[in-house]
Homo-oligomer: A and B are copies of this chain.
């Protein structure tokens, strides 16, 4: 036991300062601490070895200093960032976990984390899949896509579905879930390579590169001559304005995120809100955390789709904890192709 408590090196990534505007790699810092790979006596904490870290858009909000408490706590300069990730339990003071368990949940952006609220972790039931999937299709982004599409948008077979940021972690899944449901699905993305992926890999009926469209309204009219029943909203701003003009009666906007706005000091104004009245549109926001209680059911259903080949998943994997800053920054520039994550260690 004494040997197990020897200190080891623990590299991690901290925030150097709160961020205004676009974050840069220099806003973060790679630091090396030491840690004893053990749980303090009497503690119900769990010591984990981190295998994969997830880079998600909501993390941008945490890099800002908010005057009033935000929906997620601000990161504290000098402290290691936290993120969703996949880990292996090394030692557990909690009766629900034992050494060797594979889990996902909120961990530190570091090599080893002492998780002091292990109730927040989820056990991994399907280790036959790549474990990295638990940062995506089988983890938080997967549940986000599933809940935001089925529970919020309430799709019906034959409806017209538009997904923005469609090749991202959530978007690629929403499109495929829409196809499974029998919808007509179009996605937008920020490069021809991503557009090609949507059409060839994810089975979208159509897709366009929004950066090449002079007129988003015209692009949507071209793709949806009959209009849009469901908009799965990941970006906000000008795209939302154009979508509102093209919604059908009783359309639904499932508002997942507004990534185009996160680095702006002031959000863009959206002007076409009167369409919400005239077309009786429902715009509804949601947070995946409210669906965590349904995770097991989701995990089984999504595992089934993966096994049946009905869902495919594309990841963009950076290697090494030192690449967290670049990987995280990259998602705000759309550099990633598919779900961005960082591989920290082998199991």
Interface residues of A in 254-308 (CB under 8 A from B): 255-258, 261, 266-287, 290
Q: Do B284 and A273 touch (CB < 8 A)?
A: no
1/0 per residue, CB under 8 A from B, across A199-240: the answer is: 000000000000000000000000000000000000010001
Partner of A284, one of B282, B286, B290: B282
- Which residues of chain B come closer than 8 Å to A273, judged between CB atoms? 236, 240, 255, 258, 267, 270
How many residues on chain A are close to B (CB under 8 Å)?
32
Does A71 belong to the interface (CB within 8 Å)? yes
- Which residues of chain B come closer than 8 Å to A281, judged between CB atoms? 284-285
Q: Which residue of B lies closest to A274 (CB)?
A: B258
How many protomers of this protein does the assembly include? 2
Partner of A277, one of B266, B274, B285: B285
Partner of A278, one of B274, B277, B287: B287
Partner of A271, one of B70, B257, B268, B279: B268
Q: Do B258 and A277 touch (CB < 8 A)?
A: yes
> With A236-B274, A267-B271, A267-B274 known to touch, is A282 a contact of B282 (CB < 8 Å)?
yes
Q: Which residue of B lies closest to A283 (CB)?
A: B283
Q: Do B280 and A285 touch (CB < 8 A)?
A: yes
Q: Which residue of B lies closest to A284 (CB)?
A: B282
- Which residues of chain B come closer than 8 Å to A71, judged between CB atoms? 277-279
Interface residues of A (CB under 8 A from B): 70-71, 236, 240, 255-258, 261, 266-287, 290
Which 9 pairs across A and B sit closest by C-beta, in order of nearness? A269-B269, A71-B278, A277-B285, A276-B285, A283-B283, A267-B271, A282-B284, A280-B285, A269-B271
CB pairs A–B below 8 angstroms (6 shown): A71-B277, A266-B271, A267-B271, A267-B274, A268-B271, A281-B285
